[in-house]
Structure 1
Amino acid sequence: MTDPTDHALVRDWFRELAEHVRAVDFAAARHLFAEDFIAFGTFSDFVPGRDNAEANQWRKVWPTIDGFTWKLDEVQALVSPDRLFAVGMGVWDSTGYHPDGTPFPRPGRATCSFRRSAVGAPWVATHTHMSLFRSTPDVSHGNKPLAS
C-alpha cells in the first residue's frame, strides 16, 4: 500500500503541473523537474535534460492548448520501500485546436517517475512519458501568450 501522504504529494505534483501548463508559465514549472530529467517526446524519441524538454516539447505544446486538467481523483502512485522514488500515473483532459481554429477534445495519459531527497519532501520528476489517446490529433494550433 502506498502511504497516503506520499500519494497526496504525487497528486500535488500533477495538480501543480497543470496550473503551470494552463498559465503557460515555463519558469514556474521548472522546479517540478530534475535538471537531468529525460522524457519521451512527440517531436523526438528521447528528450534529455529539463531545458531541452522545455525548448523542444513544452514550448511546442503548452501555448497551443487550453484547459489542461488532470483527473486527480484517478492519479495512481507506486512508491519504493524507502519512499524516495515513485511512479505516478494520470489521465488528463485538454482542448486542442484544428488549423481553422475549431476546438477538439485532447485527452491523454502519463507515466512519470519521481525522486526526492527526504520522506515528506515534494516529488521531482526524473522522467515523463505523456501520450494522447488514440485518434486524437497530435498537433494543436492554438496560440496563447506565454507567461514566461
Structure 2
Amino acid sequence: MAERDDDVILIRRWFQRLQVCIQTVDFVGSRPLFADDMLTFGTFTAFTVGREATEHEQWRHVWGHIDRFRWHLDDLRTLISGDRLTAVGMAVFESTGYTEDGRAFDRPGRATVVLGRKAVGEEWVAQHTHVSLFPGTPSRSFGTKREHPPAAL
C-alpha cells in the first residue's frame, strides 16, 4: 500500500534526523522532532514530562558522552494507526561508550517511539520515547564531546 510506504518513509526520516542530532550533540536541532509535552522513560529517571525536562534529565547525560551513534534502520519496525495520525517506530541502535579511564565499549540498545501528527503527510513528532540499553551494557559513558551549536548563555 503506497500510503503506508509514505508513512514509513517519514518515520525512517524522523529516526535519521534524530541520529544526526545525537551524533552532533545538537539539542536545539532536535527540538522540532519532539512534542513540548512529551512523556519519556529513560536511563536516569522513571518518568520525565516535557521536552525541556527530557533534554536536561536524559539527553544531556548521554549525547555528549558517546560516539558513533547509529540506528539499524534496515530493521526498523512500525505500527501505524488506521487514520495514519499515530504510529510507533521501534529500532535498535549501536554506539560507543567510554569507561572512566577512557576505554571504549560497545553500547547497543533499542528504542520505542510513539509518533503523532495532525494531518496525513506531515512530519511525525514524538509524543513518547522509551530508550534502553541491552542488558549488561554499562549505563554511564564518560566521553566528552562539545554541544553543537553551543547553548546560549
Taking structure 2 as the reference length, the TM-score comes to 0.94
For residue 8 of structure 1, report the CA deviation from its aligned partner.
1.0
Contact 1:64/1:144 (8 A) holds in 2: yes
Aligned to 1:103: 104
1:41 Cα shift? 1.6
Q: Which amino acid aligns with 1:74?
A: D
Q: What SS class does the counterpart of residue 3 from structure 1 fall into?
A: helix
1:62 and 1:7 map into 2 onto residues whose CA distance is 26
Counterpart amino acid of residue 68 in structure 2: G
RMSD between aligned residues = 1.0
Other-structure match for 2:62? 61
Aligned residues: 148
Partners of 1:56 and 1:135 in 2: CA distance: 22
The residue aligned with 1:30 is 31
Q: 2:71 is matched with which residue? A: 70
Gaps of 5+ in 2: none
1:30 Cα offset (Å) = 0.2
Secondary structure of 1:37's counterpart equals strand
Whole-angstrom CA distance in 2 between matches of 1:21 and 1:41: 15
Q: How far does residue 43 in structure 1 lie from its aligned partner after superposition?
A: 1.1
Q: Is 2:17 the counterpart of 1:10? A: no
CA distance in 1, matches of 2:78, 2:40: 18
Alignment identity in percent? 51
Q: What are the ranges of 5 or more consecutive residues in structure 1 without an aligned counterpart? A: none
Report the more deviating stretch, 1-10 or 22-31. Answer: 1-10
Deviation, structure 1 residue 119:
0.5
